[in-house]
C-alpha cells in the first residue's frame, strides 16, 4: 500500500507558516497604527499610557473638521451620481443579445480600473486647469465630477452581477398583464435589484472617500479632503493625531466593506 494514514496530499512544506505570517504581516501595521492612536504621549512608537487626547485634538482641529465634511459630502454626491448612472447603464447592457459597440462601451465604463490613477489625475489637471481659467468657477463641482467618473465601474459591476442573476419570468408576467415598462421596473425589477444597488453605492462611497491621487491633482486651493490633508501632514513631524484620523477613516471603510460582503451575499 502506497498511502499511509498520516499522509496529507494537500500539504506543502512551509506553506502554512508563510500564509499565517502573511496574515500577521497584513494586519500588524494597521493594528499598531490603531493602538498608538490611543497613546498618551506624542510618539507613534513609544507607549505612554491610554488616552483619547489625539481624538480630541483631531476633533477640535478646524482643518480636520472641514476636510471631514468635504470628504463626506463629496463621497455622498459621487456615490449617488455614479450609482444612478450605473443602474441605467447596467439595465442597458445586460439581459439583451450582444450588440454592436458593447465591448467598446464596456471598456469605457471600466476605463478607470485600467488606466493608472496618476495618468487620469494629470489628464484631469490639464483639462480642469483650462476650464477653471475660462469659467472662473473653482468650486467642488470638479471633484464631484471626477469622483463620479472613477466610481462608475465600482457601482456598475455589482449591479450588473445582480441583474445577470435575476429571473426574467416575473417581468415577463407583469408585461403580459399590461404593466407599463416603468411600472415593471418600479414594482418588479427595482425591488429585486435593490441589494446590488446598495452594494454598488457602498463600494462607490468607500472608493471616493479613500481617493488621494486624483483629488490631490484636481482640488483647488483650500479644498483638502481627509486623505489629501493627511498626505500633507506626513511631511511634518507626525503625531498620533494622524493615527486618530486614520483610525476613524479605517473604521468607516471596514464597516462598509463588511456590510458590502453581506449585502452582496443576500438571497436573491
Partner 1 sequence: MADLARTRERRELRTRWLLLTPALIILFIAASGPLLITLIYSFLTPGDYGGVQWKFSTDAWFNVVFQRDIFDDTLGFADAHLSIFWRSVKLSLMTTVGAVILGFPTAYFIATRPANRRDFWMLLIMIPFWTNLLIRTFAVMELIRNEGTINTVLMALGIIDEPIQMLFTEFAIMVGMLYVYLPLMVLPLYASMERLDFSLVEAGYDLYATRLAVLRRIILPLVKPGLIAGSILVFVPSLGAYVTPRVMGGGKQLMLGNLIELQFGQGRNWPLGAALSITLLAIVMVALIFYVKSAGKEEVGHG
Of 122-161, which residues contact partner 1 (CB under 8 A)? 122-127, 129, 145-146, 148-150, 152, 156-157
What is the spatial distance between Cα 101 and Cα 89, in angstroms, rounded to a whole number?
14
Of 214-233, which residues contact partner 1 (CB under 8 A)? 217, 227, 230-231
258 binds partner 1 (CB under 8 A): yes
Of 189-208, which residues contact partner 1 (CB under 8 A)? 206
Among 26, 52, 173, 190, binds partner 1 (CB under 8 A): 26
Number of residues that bind partner 1 (CB under 8 A): 92
Among 67, 198, 199, 213, binds partner 1 (CB under 8 A): 213
Among 2, 168, 177, 221, binds partner 1 (CB under 8 A): 2
CB of 183 to partner 1, least distance (A): 15
Of 66-95, which residues contact partner 1 (CB under 8 A)? 81-82, 84-86, 88-89, 91-93
25 binds partner 1 (CB under 8 A): yes
Among 5, 6, 10, 182, binds partner 1 (CB under 8 A): 10
182 binds partner 1 (CB under 8 A): no
Of 33-62, which residues contact partner 1 (CB under 8 A)? 33, 36, 43-46
CB of 53 to partner 1, least distance (A): 18
Amino acid at each position: 500500500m502506497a498511502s499511509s494514514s498520516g499522509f496529507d496530499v494537500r500539504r506543502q512544506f512551509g506553506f502554512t507558516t508563510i500564509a499565517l505570517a502573511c496574515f500577521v504581516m497584513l494586519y500588524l501595521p494597521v493594528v499598531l497604527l490603531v493602538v498608538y492612536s490611543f497613546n498618551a504621549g506624542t510618539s507613534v512608537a513609544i507607549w505612554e499610557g491610554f488616552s483619547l487626547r489625539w481624538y480630541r485634538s483631531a476633533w477640535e482641529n478646524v482643518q480636520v473638521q472641514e476636510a471631514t465634511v468635504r470628504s463626506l459630502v463629496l463621497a455622498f454626491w459621487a456615490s449617488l451620481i455614479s450609482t444612478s448612472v450605473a443602474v441605467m447603464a447596467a439595465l442597458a447592457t445586460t439581459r439583451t443579445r450582444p450588440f454592436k459597440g458593447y465591448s467598446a462601451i464596456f471598456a469605457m465604463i471600466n476605463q478607470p480600473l485600467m488606466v493608472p490613477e496618476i495618468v487620469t489625475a494629470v489628464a484631469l489637471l490639464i483639462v480642469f486647469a483650462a476650464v477653471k481659467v475660462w469659467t472662473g468657477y473653482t468650486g467642488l463641482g470638479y471633484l464631484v465630477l471626477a469622483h463620479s467618473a472613477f466610481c462608475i465601474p465600482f457601482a456598475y459591476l455589482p449591479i450588473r452581477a445582480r441583474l445577470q442573476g435575476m429571473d426574467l419570468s416575473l417581468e415577463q408576467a407583469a408585461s403580459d398583464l399590461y404593466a407599463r415598462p416603468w411600472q415593471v421596473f418600479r414594482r418588479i425589477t427595482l425591488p429585486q435589484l435593490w441589494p446590488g444597488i446598495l452594494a454598488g453605492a457602498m463600494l462607490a462611497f468607500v472608493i471616493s472617500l479613500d481617493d488621494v491621487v486624483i483629488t490631490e491633482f484636481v482640488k483647488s486651493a483650500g479644498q483638502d479632503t481627509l486623505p489629501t490633508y493627511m498626505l500633507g501632514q506626513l511631511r511634518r513631524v507626525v503625531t498620533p493625531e494622524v493615527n486618530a484620523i486614520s483610525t476613524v477613516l479605517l473604521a468607516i471603510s471596514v464597516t462598509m466593506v463588511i456590510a458590502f460582503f453581506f449585502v452582496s451575499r443576500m438571497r436573491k
